[in-house]
Amino acid sequence: MSKTAYLVQSYEEVPFLMFLLSLKKNKKNILVVNYGNSDLKTHLLNLLENENIRLLNNTLDNRRKFNNIFMYLIMFIIFMLKHYWISIFFFRKIDRLYFFQPFLSFLISSIQDAQHEKICYQPLPGLIKRKLINHNGEYTQNSSKNIKENKLRRLFIRIIFGRHLHQRIIGLTKVAALNDELLDKLIKNSNKITFSINDYEKYKTSIYTTLLNSSIKNSGQMKVIYFEQHYLERNLVDKEKYTGLIKDISKLCDLKNLELHIKPHPGKSLPSFYNSIAKLNVLEAETPAEFYIDKNTICISTSSGALGSNLCKLNLSLIFLVPFLDKSFRQNVFQALSNKIAMKTYTPKKIIDIDALFSSIDEPNSEPMKNINYIEPLN
């Protein structure tokens, strides 16, 4: 019997993976290869626990802080040795490998040219929706090629991961991506799984979110979840003003009798100042937002992917309240936010606006709600 593998590199791909697996009647001889972080490994183990599907992981531990450069170097060498084993030897045992995105696809780039006919490119709907690729899976102008790519870096990446990588620009981020030549070749393989996008959207919102139990979901009590984006650790915000903002939100929640939950980003731990906030519930970093959000949830962040959900009661972005050190950074974050949201998202400019939103949450046409800035989804 043929053996089919699915390559996963990010949390965004997991709902799509689970949807494609749900279409298969026979799940024997299926393998999931994880090239994401160790938190993603934990999440996949939880999801696949009852599916009898094997998980093969090649990850760098994103939870440990390697102050010793030699320890990190040892971990990286182990990662690379396993990478070469997967791309050269283990891949020979696979009859078909599906992958979902061309960005950071180091495994796909490393597979030998003679084996390319076994690779199936199934473009990720989320990337199509964000217009980073088109329906065929080709790059768009929103993921442009970096014509000023550092030649030494390019040579280094190619030596390690193969000659099929170049650098592309997404917003302000430079990422290694499959080159157009290989991408075109894989698109022409014409072996995509046929499915209805409407069926996928229904699965993502109504079935995927039930695959894991959550103690706070469907509790019937209104709650606030703040999705931390770790600007403080990245030295992007004024520390005193940022901590003051979070503490003010905590006080508002307490006054309004709203449960406050903090969700760290996968692979991250919360800053120490959160220890001083009373009545605070910390959610698991490795579990995606979808498993915590329901119609009794107020989602708060700045531009987190969690704001792309339409499952919640209210979306609230702190885009104008977060004290960024670089004022120009705010516009870039705002653009990222605009590309993600799936429902009306309020963008308060004062703490009193958040107070008004909390008070009028069940009155969307009330005067306080009308007077607060918001943005609508692009589509």
CA 139, 199, 379, 373 torsion: positive or negative?
Answer: negative
Count CA atoms closer than 13 A to 335's CA, side-chain side. Answer: 8
Assess whether pLDDT exceeds 90 at residue 144: no
> Which residues have C-beta within 8 Å of that of residue 173, sequence separation ≥ 6?
none
**By C-alpha distance, which of 293, 225, 285, 298 is closest to 260?**
225
**By C-alpha distance, which of 285, 272, 316, 283 is closest to 298?**
316
Count CA atoms closer than 13 A to 252's CA, side-chain side. Answer: 20
Question: Using CA atoms, how far apart are residues 351 and 332, in angstroms rounded to an integer?
Answer: 23
**By C-alpha distance, which of 117, 119, 116, 88 is closest to 7?**
119
Q: What is the per-residue burial (b if ≥16 Cβ within 10 Å, else e) of 117-144? A: ebbbbbbbbbbbbbebbeeebebeeebe
Residue 2 has a pLDDT of 62
Tens-place pLDDT, residues 215-247? 787 777 889 999 999 999 889 999 999 999 999
Average pLDDT, the chain: 88
Question: Using CA atoms, how far apart are residues 231 and 323, in angstroms rounded to an integer?
Answer: 10
Residue 63 has a pLDDT of 52
- Fold held by 223-375: Rossmann fold (3.40.50)
Assess whether pLDDT exceeds 80 at residue 379: no
3-state secondary structure of 14: helix
SS (H, E, C) 340-354: HCCCCEECCCCHHHH
Question: Using CA atoms, how far apart are residues 304 and 342, in angstroms rounded to an integer?
Answer: 12
Residue 1 has a pLDDT of 47
> Which residues have C-beta within 8 Å of that of residue 275, sequence separation ≥ 6?
none
